[in-house]
Structure 1
Amino acid sequence: MTDVKSGRVTVHSKLTAVSNSPVRPGKSYPLSVLDHAMGLHSLHVVFYFRQIESNDFDLGRLRESLSEVLTYYPVVTGRLKRGEDGNWEVKCNDAGVRVLNAKVSTTLDEWLRSADGSEERDLTVWDDMPEDPDIWSPFRIQINDFEGGGLAIGLSCTHMQADPLCATLIFKSWTDSYRGVAITHPPFFHPPGFRGRTSPITNTNSTKYYAAKSKLEPPSSAKMSTATFCFSDTMIKKCLSELHDQCPDATPYDLLAALFWSRVEHAKSLTHDRTNSLSICIDFRKLMQARFPFGFFGNALHFSLVSSDSREMDEGGLGYVVGLVNRHFSSLNEEEFWSAIDWFESQKGEGGKFAAPFRMYGPELTCINMEHMIIPSWPSWSTHVSTCQTLLYAAMFEKDKKPVHVSYQVGNVEGEGLILVLPSPEEGLGRSVMVTLPEDLTAKLCDDPAILRLEPTMLLSGRR
């Protein structure tokens, strides 16, 4: 069996991985109100490893460790179905995860330099959910071998079942199992965790935003393209130092969200005296007073809107926009998160069926904050100095062989596009920014002098 996905990616085998331990018959897992809200989107993550290739693996151990870790994730090996109330749930029947093996007819370095976002999707396997998903695998894995060494493993799933942190933890748990160490962040399944309150409050900034967002017309479809900008620790520190007087508490996310937002607006070449808006997406697991476990499985994302007059953005410069983003984050609180959940619950129809989903990533420009992927490690007993671990780059099949790059894409992004601010493989404040925008805007950003001033390394931009 040979399945050519593109000119450079060829699938040569397929199998289904199941868990080692059968699931108790009749077990099901209802999806939460926030899970249902993500119904229009899918999630695709690719981990790139330079030092290893599939021949370096004990393939038997690779499959065995995947089966071991899937025992902890019955919702991953199950199948979607409609419950009696019409809402989605997972039938935990251990039907398994589709796994593909593929060959890439170029080197890893050449791929990162010359592939674009569309071609990168060939490293992940995905088919949209059919009308009857009874035998459809909502989680899929593709293992890709590069010429001359190097490996990319792509994980795809429905966004209804997992957000970026969940997908990353599945992969991290797999690498833990492969290396024979304890799973660092085991999954925590608790569907009622995000359920509307008995005394809901639906008159907050968040509920007003979601209500307006749900009524927006579908955007006109424009051809989208992607590019990744990698910024060094040195340049981020330098830029934050320059902005210290205007915004002393600015974070790398504040800086990069503001920079790319302002440059996208500048690239549009529209008239002055308009309102520019940015939808900001954050993970709020650790922002609740009663914090949810890091391994909470399901969607824990909150979207909010920051806006500014275009003339003020132009006259205030980058420092003004950085402060705007920073103050917006400071204004977010637990009441905003709960009120959003209350609002989604209030939209239920007859019999308790959740309302049809609408596009969450869009139609306005959306920027995802992935800073929560950087987690503190326990301090060393000898030094008593705490350190930080970047979850993405702690996913290692072999000791000390961390990924050289991790890429995230969200399916069904239209409208003004998407910006992701990600941790970098470099320790410190280094960050990667991945954009999915109308292709004319992506091209302009790749040549934008305000961005190039920070001397980014360009990856996956399609520039050969």
Structure 2
Amino acid sequence: MSGAKTIVEVCSKLTVVSDTPTRPGKTFSLSLLDHTMGLHTLHIVFYYRHKWSNSDDLGRLRESLADVLNYYPPITGRFQKGEDGNWVVACNDAGVRILKSNVHTTLDDWLKSAEGSEERDLTVWEDMPEDPTLWSPFRIQLNEFEGEGMAIGLSCSHMHADPTCATIFFKSWTETYRRDAIKHSPFFHPPGLRGRPSPNTNTESAKYYAAKSKAEPPSPVKMSTATFRFSEAAIQKCLSEVQNQCPDATPFDVLAALFWTSAVRAKTAPEAIPEQKRSLSICIDIRKLMHAPLPHGYFGNALYFSLVSSEAGKMDEGGLAYVAGLVRSHMSSLKEEDFWSAIDWIESQKEGGKFAPAWRMYGPELTCANMEHLFSYSAMLEELKPVHVSYHIGNVEGEGLILVLPSPEEGLGRTVMVTLPEDQTVQLCKDPAILSLQPTMLLCGKSNSFSLSS
């Protein structure tokens, strides 16, 4: 769909503020983990097989947004620097920018024929300027397709929110739209994840974060994204194939292993020597992995990154079962002390109370994020759940990003979004190991097969 730039036509813009004014002078300090995500942005698109019948429907959306924003003062605020030089949000009710656009194609044709990069036309965004005091860090785009179809794009600075936080905000908006109670209320407590009085930075976790912070920026290359939806039967088949060697494997384990090995094959570099190290950065949400779990509604970032490595020869010889076992062993070995040690190390990099400059968290090594837990398909409009939800991370460089996400299908079904250098994405979409699971391929361009039940 090479004409996507012209078929998405913005027709109106407005700003929505909360119904109830925030107390003057209220601020919200960004946490230590928020500051580490400063180079990245977050973009989510929720697709519905729904048509606005009249202007009253749009009015309800705006009214319910203004209502839910009463509970989220930082979303309508603006960034400013605090006395210590760190970012804070001035909760000044400046509002959320909203665009309304028409998409001159049907929902099914878009999901079938659009490229993953073209999807960003549904999520308005402007990079943060040097002076962000008038800049809206949260933006929403309402997109209406021809026929019965709509998509709501949500974009924000990753410093403001991680995928869990942004998804729960959106779900709370749809709950307010349906006049239901908000199930996961926001929890504002940035000090919940901060360095300890007796820090421990002599760990592999701290060493990995130190190495990431010093990594040289990779040479820029054009990246592209492909989306694969796997049925419960396909995931069950994958799990059964590794059962003997890895009986405790989860859907994330096998999908991380499958796409890690497929991404390696997609590279055009010469064949690796057996002793060469291959590495995968794994990103997880730690809200519910702490001894004192954080609420789902914890506002901000609660992501932890760790590294799993293996020799190329062992991966090639052991196949999917070996690599899935490698991922499972790594995931099982993660302890709360690993999380706190990383936090301690970030805290230790402060100078005069100011956090160190942000570095690239997604990269430069291939990164795989476990986002299976997201409440993406609980964000229902009326009684309709989304037919598809996409997640994009801005400023991904290096070897690329794999996102393992929920699927509209109940049970073991999963969606995987992969962002790689463009030539490698093309090869990945032809990988026999992936195609043997008969995935539905979405937003991969006209050349790939497609099916999507209504």
TM-score category (smaller protein): over 0.9
Unaligned runs of 5+ in 2: 448-454
Q: Structure 2: how far apart are the matches of 1:189 and 1:130?
A: 26
Q: Structure 2: how far apart are the matches of 1:446 and 1:53?
A: 35
SS in 1 for 2:373: helix
Look up the match of 1:234: 233
Matches within 5 A, 1:47-446: 47-53=46-52, 55=54, 58-268=57-267, 269-270=269-270, 271-273=272-274, 274-349=276-351, 351-373=352-374, 391-399=375-383, 401-446=384-429
* Cα shift at 1:235: 1.0
User: Closer, same or farther in 2 for the Cα pair 1:5/1:322, shift >3 Å?
Assistant: closer
Contact 1:54 1:151 in 2 (8 A): no
* Cα shift at 1:165: 0.4
Contact 1:33 1:194 in 2 (8 A): yes
Q: Structure 1: how far apart are the matches of 2:72 and 2:59?
A: 20
Q: Structure 2: how far apart are the matches of 1:22 and 1:12?
A: 29
* Cα shift at 1:272: 2.3
User: Closer, same or farther in 2 for the Cα pair 1:429/1:413, shift >3 Å?
Assistant: same
Q: Which amino acid aligns with 2:299?
A: F
Q: Structure 2: how far apart are the matches of 1:54 and 1:323?
A: 51
Contact 1:80 1:134 in 2 (8 A): yes
Contact 2:45 2:152 in 1 (8 A): yes
Q: Structure 2: how far apart are the matches of 1:109 and 1:206?
A: 44
* Cα shift at 1:56: 8.3
* Cα shift at 1:205: 1.4
User: Closer, same or farther in 2 for the Cα pair 1:94/1:409, shift >3 Å?
Assistant: same
* Cα shift at 1:7: 1.7
Q: Structure 2: how far apart are the matches of 1:199 and 1:337?
A: 14
Q: Structure 1: how far apart are the matches of 2:170 and 2:419?
A: 23
Unaligned runs of 5+ in 1: 374-390
User: Closer, same or farther in 2 for the Cα pair 1:54/1:394, shift >3 Å?
Assistant: farther
Q: Which amino acid aligns with 1:317?
A: G
* Cα shift at 1:267: 1.9
Q: Structure 2: how far apart are the matches of 1:214 and 1:57?
A: 50
Please say if 1:454 is aligned against 2:437: yes
User: Closer, same or farther in 2 for the Cα pair 1:312/1:5, shift >3 Å?
Assistant: closer
Q: Structure 1: how far apart are the matches of 2:131 and 2:107?
A: 38
SS in 2 for 1:68: helix
Contact 1:54 1:145 in 2 (8 A): no
TM-score when scaled to structure 1?
A: 0.94
* Cα shift at 1:55: 3.8
Q: Which amino acid aligns with 2:287?
A: R
Query: Identity rate of aligned residues, in percent?
Result: 70
Q: Structure 1: how far apart are the matches of 2:385 and 2:339?
A: 34
TM-score when scaled to structure 2?
A: 0.96
Per-residue Cα deviation, 1:301-331 (whole angstroms, up to 9, x for no partner): 0000000100100000100000000000001
Contact 2:51 2:147 in 1 (8 A): no
Per-residue Cα deviation, 1:237-275 (whole angstroms, up to 9, x for no partner): 111012111111100000000000011112224322311
* Cα shift at 1:444: 0.4
* Cα shift at 1:397: 1.4
Contact 1:124 1:154 in 2 (8 A): yes
SS in 2 for 1:58: helix
Contact 1:280 1:306 in 2 (8 A): yes
Q: Structure 1: how far apart are the matches of 2:61 and 2:438?
A: 39
SS in 1 for 2:24: coil
* Cα shift at 1:185: 0.4
Q: Which amino acid aligns with 1:356?
A: P
Q: Structure 2: how far apart are the matches of 1:130 and 1:26?
A: 23
Contact 1:264 1:445 in 2 (8 A): yes
Look up the match of 1:376: none
Per-residue Cα deviation, 1:145-199 (whole angstroms, up to 9, x for no partner): 0011200000000000100001101110000000001001010000111110000
Contact 1:65 1:177 in 2 (8 A): yes
The size of the alignment, in residue pairs, is 442
Q: Which amino acid aligns with 1:449?
A: P
